Amino acid sequence: MDGWFSPVLRVLSPLCGVLVLVGFVYLAVPEAQAATPSRDDEVTDPYLKRLLDEINLRRKVVGSSTLAFVPRPANDALGKFFGETAPAISWPRPCDHQLLDGAYSWDYMQSVSGFGAQAHGEVIACPGPEAFWTPERAADIWFQSPIHFDILYGDSDANAVACGTSGLADAKKSETARAMAVLCVTFHE
């Protein structure tokens, strides 16, 4: 019996080692992917978190993957950018995308925070005479606008977003917080 078993064992032994190694690599990869930290919990502002939830609800409806917030320092940089540029679009001035010292919002984010993901687009919920924009209203109006829809919901390659507000009013007990204006930028990381 030793005669026929030895050659078979010599052939199967290395093959079994390869299969075990392949199985180990296969099992290790999904575990490493699952361990990738979610960064959307780094942004703690309740208004912005609710806005991201509303955006992602609509992205799911159209079959786009959900967005996560960019790292908090980059999101804070967008908030600072919007704080500097929002007065130029305050009511009743025309609302348009702004530059700060010749830089677009995503360029400013990179120079302040070092965040360098590929920017895909920018959307603004323009100011009115009073704080009007709840997270639901902003997400809904962008969903209804073809240009804004393409940037925020239709771009399945976008996987990250930064958002900021201007003139955020405190929520009364019976209603959601409202902002004078909202700015979001989508990215692919």
Token pair of 126 as six digits = 């323009």
| One domain for residues 28 and 54 | no
Write down the pTM of the prediction.
0.76
> Helical H runs in 35-159?
46-62, 72-85, 105-113, 135-144, 146-152
* Paired residues of 100 in beta bridges: 103
* 154 pLDDT more than 90: yes
Domain holding 126, by residue range, is: 46-188
| Number of domains into which the chain is organized | 2
Q: Is residue 133 part of a domain?
A: yes
Mean pLDDT of 171-185: 80
Tell me the pLDDT of the chain averaged across its residues: 80
Which residue matches tokens 């703690």?
Answer: 44
| One domain for residues 111 and 63 | yes
Convert the pLDDT of each residue in 94-149 to its tens digit: 889 999 999 999 999 999 999 999 999 999 999 888 888 999 999 999 999 999 99
Write the CATH number for 136: 3.40.33.10
Which residue matches tokens 């009743």?
Answer: 92
| One domain for residues 82 and 63 | yes
* 69 pLDDT more than 50: yes
- Percent of the chain predicted with pLDDT > 90: 62
